[in-house]
Chains A and B, each alone.
Chain A
Amino acid sequence: MTDTATRPPQIGRIVHFALRARQANMFLVLLFSLFIGLVFGGFLIILTTPALMTSWGHFFSHPGGTISSSFNTIWFAYEQLFQGALVNFHSLRLLIDNPSKINLANVLAPLSGTLTYATPLIVAGLGLAIGFRSSLFNIGGQGQVIVGGVLALLVSISFNLPPFFQVTLEIIAAVIGGALVAGLAGVLKAYTGAHEVIVTMMSNYTMVLILGYLLITSVFARPGVHDGASKAIEVSGQLPYFLSHLNSALLLNFGFPIAFVTVLAVQWFFNRSKTGFQLLMVGQNPDAARVAGIFSRRSIIICMALSGALLGLAGMLKITGVDHLATPNFGGSYGFDAITVALLGRNKPWGVFFGAIFFGVMYTGGAAMQAFTPTNIQFSLSQVIQAVVVFCVATPALVIEAFRLRDGASLISTNGSGGWV
Chain B
Amino acid sequence: MKLELRGITKRFGSMTANSNVNLVVKPGEIHCLLGENGAGKSTLMNILYGMLTPDEGQILVNDEIVTIRDPKDAVAHGIGMVHQHFMLIPVFDVADNVILGSEPVKPWPVIDYKTAIAELLVLAEKYGFEIDPRATVENLPIGTQQRVEILKALSHDASVLILDEPTAVLTPQETDAFMVILRSLKESGKSIIFITHKLREVLEIADVITVMRLGEIVGVTTPSETDERGLATMMVGREVNLVVDKNPATPGDVVLDVKDLFVEDERGLTSVKGISFEVRAGEILAVAGVQGNGQTELVEALTGMRRPSGGEVILNNVNLHGESVRKFLDAGIGHVPEDRQRFGLVLSLSISDNLVLDQLDDPKFHNRFGRNLKAIKLNGEQLRKEFDIRSQSAEEPVGALSGGNQQKVVMARELSRELKILICSQPTRGLDVGSIEFMHRQIVAIRDSGVAVIIVSSELDEVVALGDRIAVLFDGEIQDIVPPSTSREDLGLLMAGAHSREVSA
Chain A: residues with CB nearer than 8 A to chain B?
Answer: 1, 3, 5, 268, 271-274, 277-278, 280-281, 284-285, 287-295, 414, 416
Contact = CB atoms under 8 A, between A and B. Distances in A.
A287 B328 contact: no
B61 to A, nearest CB: 22
B200 interface: no
Contacts of A281: 346, 349, 357
Contacts, number: 80
B345 A285 contact: yes
B329 interface: yes
Nearest to A291: B343
Contact of A274 (B337, B358, B360): B360
Contacts of A288: 342-346, 357
Contacts of B370: 268, 271-274
Interface in B179-209: none
Contact of B358 (A268, A287, A291, A295): A291
A293 B326 contact: yes
Given A272-B370, A288-B346, A293 B53 contact: no
A292 B325 CA distance: 7
Interface in B356-404: 357-358, 360-361, 366, 369-371, 373
Contacts of A285: 342, 345-347
B303 interface: yes
Given A271-B373, A277-B371, A292 B55 contact: no
Contacts of A294: 325-326, 360
A112 to B, nearest CB: 33
A4 B198 CA distance: 39
B342 A287 contact: yes
B173 interface: no
Contacts of A271: 370-371, 373
Contact of A292 (B14, B348, B358, B369): B358
A25 to B, nearest CB: 15
Contacts of B53: 1
A293 B328 contact: yes
B126 interface: no
A294 B324 CA distance: 9
A277 B360 CA distance: 9
A291 B360 contact: no
A294 to B, nearest CB: 8
Given A274-B360, A288-B357, A291-B337, 7 more contacts: A268-B370, A274-B366, A280-B346, A281-B349, A284-B349, A287-B343, A416-B348
A298 B162 CA distance: 44
Contacts of B360: 274, 277-278, 292, 294
Contacts of A280: 346, 349
Given A3-B55, A274-B361, A295-B326, A414 B337 contact: no
A274 B344 contact: no
Contacts of B329: 292-293
Nearest to A415: B348
Contact of A293 (B344, B358, B373): B358
Most chain A Cβ neighbours within 10 Å, of B14, B347, B366, B371: B371
Contacts of A416: 348
A295 B347 CA distance: 19
B389 to A, nearest CB: 18
B229 interface: no
5 contacts: A287-B342, A288-B357, A289-B357, A291-B344, A292-B357
A3 B11 contact: yes
Nearest to B336: A291
A416 B349 CA distance: 10
B305 interface: yes
Interface in B279-294: none
A291 B303 contact: yes
Nearest to A413: B348
A293 B342 contact: no
B447 interface: no
A291 B371 contact: no
B335 interface: yes
B399 to A, nearest CB: 10
Nearest to A418: B348
A295 B328 CA distance: 13
Nearest to A414: B348
A3 B9 CA distance: 12
Contacts of A1: 53, 55
Contacts of B353: 277
Contacts of B345: 285, 288
A291 B373 CA distance: 22
Interface string B294-319: 00000000011100000000000000
B435 to A, nearest CB: 21
Given A287-B343, A291-B305, A272 B369 contact: yes
Contact of B371 (A273, A287, A290, A414): A273
Nearest to A1: B55
Nearest to B354: A288
